[in-house]
Chains A and B, each alone.
Chain A
Amino acid sequence: MSQLQPAFGLSKRSATTAALPAAKPAVQVAKLIDVSKCIGCKACQVACMEWNDLRQDIEENVGVYENPHDLSPNAWTLMRFTEWENPERGQLEWLIRKDGCMHCQDPGCLKACPAPGAIVQYSNGIVDFISANCIGCGYCVKGCPFNSPRISTADNKAYKCTLCSDRVAVGQGPACAKACPTKAITFGTKDDMKKLAAERVEDLKERGYSKAGLYDPPGVQGTHVMYVLHHLDKPALYAGLAENPRISPLVEVWKGAGKYAGLALLGITAAFGVVHHLLAGANRVTEEDEENAEKLRGGGA
């Protein structure tokens, strides 16, 4: 269960047209994941299970490093492993990306969600699913450009990384960041994380990774989980990280113009009925019609 953290103000609330109470402008937070420092030990996965009390069922070993096979209602973060032969450097690279919700500044999940308050964005940028309001429709799955949310078949609620909003609310960093032995995961204000990333990128460039950079995709107005990548020009190398993530135009149509066009069409159809009845009046059977029918029967067909 993921619960609302009253310590934070809200900047967005799903399926809510009324204005939100003004929240004090809060400092934007971010988690920085330095892929170049990750050794794939999965301490973060364990810490996440531990803090959030999640236990994924034991699965079959199919000969890959990923365990479990995919994100799930009980696995909110997953190390994804890619072996890549770098043609320029002539070396094998092991690219390990910690997958999970990216905490988009413009969250597609929240845009798609039909249940008021089932998804919120706190004023510090964290996107949280509020289980008590969730109806389990799975619209968030269609809204998300990163394929992060998962619907539980046990309680029909949507789950994903909370960025440890409950820990952040009491001044702690996320459990994964605390557990990471190489400090590949760090947490702080978004500004600080960008500065730290800039240092790391410079270091990587000096070491010959000329395309190193910070993944903070503008298509979703930036994210509150960012990656330092050695190959920012090829994000798809990292187990299919989205090249240009943005809310799908299909979702925009469905949740935007489509709603108003739809409601308008229904309104016009109903109004047509009312106006037509006022102008044309009821279409009544006359006595003459009844007599004609009697005559038809009387005289045979």
Chain B
Amino acid sequence: MKDQYLFIFAQAHDDFRVPELYSVAELYGFDLVIPEDFDVARPFAVLELEKEEHARLLARRCVLIRSVYEFYARGSNYEELHVGNRAARPKWEKYIPDTSFKFVVNGYNQSVPQHRQKQVIEHFSYMDFLGKIDMKTPEIILGCFEEYRDTTGSIRQKHDDDGNFREVFFGRLVEEGSARPLVGKFNVKKRAYFGNTSMEAEVSLLMANQTLAAPGKLIYDPFVGTGSMLYTAAHFGALVFGSDIDGRQMRGKESRPGIIRAAIQYGVQQRVLDLCTFDVTHNPLRCGGIFDAIVTDPPYGVRAGAKRLGRKKRRIGSRPDDQPYIPPTKPYELSALARDLVLLARYLLKPQGRLVFFLPTVTEEYQEIDIQMMLCDGMEVAANSLQDFGAWGRRLVTIRRTTTFNYSSPTFDADGGDLGVNGEEHAPAHRDFREKYFQGFKREL
């Protein structure tokens, strides 16, 4: 038998919400039922879980959860809510005799005036709780939430619509979300080392959750840059490994590498297994099947160019990579890079391991087939979430290695063009992304 829990979500990164919930449930190995009418535009949802402990695990790990309540009732008006709450009596009657408690009444999109908060609370008096009211350290907190429609833009007074809510929810607090404050902890601006390619904190955390980062796992970023995703994956306990074609991205200007300085700040330096300078298309890794996840923001040429070793040049002797010399490179087209990355991941990941990466795309041109055509045998899409910037956006794609067959290392010569599922040529929206970006996404005439 499953129990119902009322979730309150942050209204951010809507498209990432469901994948994050499923990932964390998979990480801890429990079931989660998301109703069919789940609407990411709304902050409230009632989900089913087997145990209260599972609700707590979600609240501790999901960046997009504000809090979780044991669900008692909901209604489009208070009559409905109270009918439901009376029926839920078996869930709360154990608190009647002597549990100290506190009531909170909140509005979403509109606040509930003081005098009506009092009224709302009084209407629950049939619950007959005998314990004392304790505003500071109550044993339980009961929450009543009025969800108003978003009226931004319309002209009205503060409490004009008071009481005219879309739906009201009631339950008992199980746990406040404790992953959400990590967004502040990993704030890029407060980091000991960052650059103009650093990934924002919230997204780095969402990415780490898609990798199922946990103690005992090894996670790799092949385009590590300033290391943003290493810190969040390591925070969740994983060992992390990073590489970049440009050593200066990882080092910064001081003698101690920048990524190590930031890792020290976050207390995860022991978990940074190593950093290496190499071109991932000419990599020195001796074998595959070593990583539990690969997490990365590939270069797509806007700020950090995609490149690979190439151009003709005379021999350059061996030297450290902190010198202002970068070996000759040639451009690396994004759709070729994406297909190579999936092949590389199939080789380097363990079975069931995950590849989590961003793919920039042109919003109007994007089609689902764009993702399908990057796949190869034994690699399946587990999630695909859009971060929308208007004319363009980027998709966080999670691909799982489903095969146990050990494929060999890719050859990185995939410049044979993009083929659709039926073998026909199809240009995905992310092809030549850089050029499209600088043209302001105007189609060629």
- Chain A bound to chain B: no
